[in-house]
Structure 1
């Protein structure tokens, strides 16, 4: 059997997450049984929401904690190297929740074959995977992209935010993004298709944002939550929709603990007749064929740009995860841990 490594939870984070919360161990590679196959990982996904599940009291104690020493879960793309499964042959490139490890055994549940029309296999973890599908579902919940609509997207340089902006642009909508840093803002406009991107670190951030939204935003695609939400909702158009996709500002605890922003939000909701809608991609598999067809056409035609940040080596996974919060990068973050054998 092949050898490999895995990343495990060493310590529960206390406050901000650190690379030292994880450890890298040698992996015991299991033999696939009947109806199973062995996957060798190629790319492993790094996702901010994972932060919620590695606390000593996940989701405020609503879930039991992950035992220390457990392999970190999460999506990955890999190549099948052994198979006893009649529907998955050796050499097939697949995506699934294989975790942070070099090898995984699967029975095929929840596993998707990677669509080669979406470009490189790493795209199955980005624009063609969970981030892209989440953005697609959000726009479906919003009723699509209508002529004359303006969308505002927070966390615009992240995996879901960049996918949402690219989809809105490709569908002919006007899209304004919020990101951290001038370089990210330039990238969003020049490469992804944002009409305007505003630096949330700028001293005149709110003035710039108001100027970019002269008639307000019809839809606010929120990936951040926190104080930013309270600041932004007064800039929505009357009858506007707030789509709650993520709450990254709150995954490591509220940076402004003790500050109650709810009155400001409710005031904007009342005065502007706003609507709030949370959503998830769970249970939306019926949309997947249409999603893949649209994405494949957009990528092939060059009308959609792919934003990826790739690091190399399984030892980079803990650092990449901590970096999502300490030193955010543009696009979907993945770590390459293997190469296709053929």
Structure 2
């Protein structure tokens, strides 16, 4: 199939593109290579994908470029769209909220318009566990209400689900929203905790653990994310004939629209997470305990029963195993503790933010 992957130079997008190419699909990648973190890492991911699976078409284009996006859909006519590009990060949304409106709302509208005017067999788009917000029901179920987001990032992801539903209802676009839970693994983002924590431990710098290290996160290894996504591609949603307007199911619809959680189902307290990093790095961490940060949720845990029912698959890689694979990559990519990703590639220093 011809598949458009947005965010193809991103963490999930690169892994997804590699898997699709290996499976024999034609991948049209899209990425704007912005500087939220250093584009050198994104360039390195693309080189990795091409070294493993061969060259593929890559469009350097911003989602918010309405004309460019319309031309891309018209020229490429993708059969499937996997929309992974977005302005990521909960805390960064406190600093630069307009970036989230431009990418996550205006950019997503251009994706929907492309699918409207050039119909696709399936639109799969990244949502987030962040949409559950103030919901205290654990594990999170796709049937739960998500009416109280705690950050603008979460609000834009909730809006994406609503926008996709409206286009599914009006124009029959089969759309699946994928609520990812704390994705980690090789080639991850440098603003997230695995790289930030591993570098701090390796360099003997203190880790900042917010909420005094008592957060719980449902970590999900990247291969489990990709396997779930690939299995969903041929399973485009259909209208739910049993949908009851008097008792509406928030996860399905009389339109061809559906939601899925993709998570490891095993929430881990951050202090235990740090202990596993110490084990694989064979170094002790210096920890700085700090209060809860605005926008953070206390705990996440995915109910993936809908994913299992539809695909027959549930995420399988344990955090211990996944962190072992991550640290093996980390040692290769960061040859010395005082070097960052960019210096390892002979380029400018990486711009890093606090861990999420």
TM over 0.5: no
Task: Tell me which interval the TM-score lies in, with the shorter structure as reference length.
Answer: 0.3 to 0.5
Q: TM-score, normalised by structure 2?
A: 0.33
Question: Relative to total residues, which structure has the larger strand share, 1 or 2?
Answer: 1
